[in-house]
Structures are given as structure tokens and as C-alpha cells.
Amino acid sequence: MDLACRNCNMADDIRKNATAWCETVQSIVTNPAVASCIKRRCKDAWIVCGDPENHCSTHPNALGYRVPGKSSANLCIKNFSNANATGAIVIHEWAHSCNWRDGQGQGVPGGDGYLNTDHY
């Protein structure tokens, strides 16, 4: 996690939720190549809470995003009030770095492109 995540009031929950989702990826993501790629991200990719692209502030409904060419998952922590869905958001964003696209489903959380935080 980047410094912004480590210093935010949701740091422990972000870590716990991402870890829990990483442990279930193989059983929920139905595309073996995407699942394997996400598992690699769980081991070596960053979770970023800073907003280097200024995406979160310009998209107030965004929960997360991925910077093209990077494998990190960027969380829009100022756009949600609790960390319950952070693990699902991280897995969703990492899936994008594994050549998965919104609308492909395949067991990726928010597979239609929209994450309903009440669901997680």
C-alpha cells in the first residue's frame, strides 16, 4: 500500500479486505488466466489511495481506477464512507491489469462495470 493508504483511517480494513478477497480469487473468478494474474497482483502489486491522476476528485462516484500500463489498484477512499467493499474494488481494478474488461463478468466483482458497495 502507498503512504496515503497506510496513513488513512481505513488502512487495516483495506489490508484485511484485500487479503480476504485474494484468498478467494481462484474460487470466484471463472477465467483461469485472469484468476492466476490477479493472484500474482495479490503478491506484488500496489494499492494506491493517493490520487495521482486526479481521477477520484473529478469522478465523485468512482470507487477505484487503474492507470493504464500499471498494475496497481487505485482506491478513491474519499468517495466512500467505509472500507467494506475495498477488497472487491481492489480485485476489480487488478482484473483490468490482467486484460479483463468491464462487462466480461467471469466472476470478477462488479463484472458489469459497476460495483454496488452494499453487496460486499
Using pLDDT thresholds of 50, 70 and 90, give the confidence band for residue 75.
very high
**What are the boundaries of each domain within the chain?**
3-109
The string of DSSP codes covering 22-43 is HHHHHHH---HHHHHHHHHHHH
For position 119, what pLDDT does the model report?
63
pLDDT in tens, 78-117: 888 788 889 999 999 999 999 999 999 999 998 887 776 6
3-state secondary structure of 16: helix
Rounded distance between C-alpha atoms, residue 11 and residue 53, angstroms = 21
Per-residue pLDDT tens digits for 42-54:
999 999 998 888 9
